[in-house]
Amino acid sequence: MIRAIATAAATALAITACSGDSPEATPSATIGLPVPGVTASAAPDNSGDTSIVPPTVSDPVESITVTGSTDIATDLDAPWEAVFTSDGAALITERDAGRIVRVVDGETTTLNGPGADAIAEATDPTGEAGLLGITLLPTDESMLYAYLTRADGNAVVRMDLDGDSLSVPADVLTGIPKASNHDGGRIAFGPDGHLYVATGDAAQPGLAQDQDSLAGKILRVTADGSDADGSVPEGNPFDSPVWSMGHRNVQGLAWLPDGTMVASEFGQSQADELNVIEPGANYGWPAFEGLFGAPEGTELGETANGFTYPVAQWSPTSTASPSGIAATEAGVFVAALRGEALFWIPWRADAGFSEPETIVEDLGRLRAAVVDADGSLHALTNNTDGRGSPTTGDDRLVRLQLEVD
């Protein structure tokens, strides 16, 4: 079972700007595979064991500095998600084109086959919608899951991946309300082997508080490549796909090494959020954003009057707009769009979260933070989506070189 950090340990502080520098420190190492204890968009094979065994925790990371970067892929068209296979290939979605590309040793190939044709034809790229998140079945990388906006709403589908060819999609989860914005879109396998799906409120804030709607929620469904895909697993708090509710627009999902689930969320204007996700919890939208609207004296990470508050916030939302995230033993890495930054939120299992720090601010809009099978941290830029200022080579997937102390 996913275990949440105790509220008393959730000591994250709010930030009010995105231009702060990482603290000065004498690095202990310069490493190409820099991030220990990674759990990101896909979990390892648990061989049916849904328990979580925390790893041995190394010395706390005191500082992280980005010392360089390497382009893994360039000239991407409005990319939204990147995932890595165990052999090092990257799969990247292009939101508006409804296309998935594979990158191997700098060479980019567009996936083909009946599934690729069907996805491109079905994708509705109105506004912020389109082909969004993808993930691979942890126990079988020939099974690919995708979240896309179609004429009938947002949906999760499954396809077989054979080389560069995709099979005809099979519906896994449908009926997720869509809009030109607030479509969520991130999907990820948790340590329990189930598929988690981030949705938005589809520009209808009241749906986030409607337990019977799939909008404004984090969902949890069975996904094992069989006919059981999309069914409600045992342990869901409402006997439905709904895992948590009261969300405006969740776009980042990840798990820390001890199994704590974290999610990033767009606010409206006052505050963006990083939340620790617990089953059945209500995160308050549209009653509040971050701590704005909370009872006087409410602190980050607390639950009060039936609502759970974030462990970190950015205020105003122009400083962040947090999208995809990666979680490691060092903490949470958050890709920010309007803030045009990569944030690091330090974390320790025995002390919780610290104040977010800016570690990248020269790549423009960032859509995702991604870790490969070797533990290297990557950033996916998003400057060609109509809101950025593209430079030569944009958009790109970039491997970051880090100094860690």
CA atoms of 370 and 398, how far apart (whole Å): 10
- Which pLDDT value is given to residue 319? 96
Residue 266 CB contacts under 8 Å (≥ 6 apart), including other chains? 182, 248, 249, 251, 272, 317, 321, 322
Least confident among 40-54, 173-187, 314-328: 40-54
**What's the pLDDT tens digit per position in 67-79?**
999 999 999 999 9
To which residue do tokens 């079972």 refer? 1
CB 76 within 8 A of CB 130: no
And the tokens for 214?
């799939």
- Complete DSSP assignment for 125-158: -STT-SEEEEEEETTEEEEEEEEEEETTEEEEEE
One-letter amino acid for residue 93 of the chain: T
Is the link from the previous residue into 316 a cis peptide, with omega within 30 of 0?
A: yes
Residue 114 has a CB neighbour count (10 Å cut-off) of 13
Q: What is the pLDDT of residues 271-326, one digit of tens each?
A: 999 999 999 999 999 999 999 999 999 999 999 999 999 999 999 999 999 999 99
Look at residue 60 in the predicted model and tell me its pLDDT. 82
Check residue 14 and give its pLDDT: 33
pLDDT, tens digit, 9 for 90 and up, residues 324-357: 999 999 999 999 999 999 999 999 988 999 999 9
CA–CA dist 366, 192 (Å, integer)? 29
What pLDDT is attached to residue 59?
Answer: 74
Exposure letters 62-95 (e unless 16+ CB within 10 A, then b): ebbbbeebeebbbebebbbbbbbbeeebbbbbbb
Residue 38 has pLDDT above 70, yes or no: no
The set of residues, in sequence order, having a beta carbon less than 8 Å from that of 8 and lying 6+ positions away, is none
- Decide if pLDDT at 39 tops 50: no
Domain boundary assignment for the chain? 7-48+72-404
What percent of the chain is modeled with pLDDT above 70?
Answer: 86
pLDDT (0 to 100) of residue 58: 57
3-class state of residue 114 by DSSP: helix
User: Which amino acid is present at 76?
Assistant: L
Q: Which two tokens stand for residue 76?
A: 């991407």
| pLDDT tens digits along 188-233 | 999 999 999 999 999 999 999 999 999 999 999 999 999 999 999 9
What SS3 state is found at 273?
A: strand
Distance (Å, whole) CA 379 – CA 143: 24
CATH for 7-48+72-404, among 3.90.230.10, 1.50.10.10, 2.120.10.30, 2.60.130.10?
2.120.10.30
- How many degrees, rounded to 5, is the angle at CA 353 between CA 349 and CA 359? 115
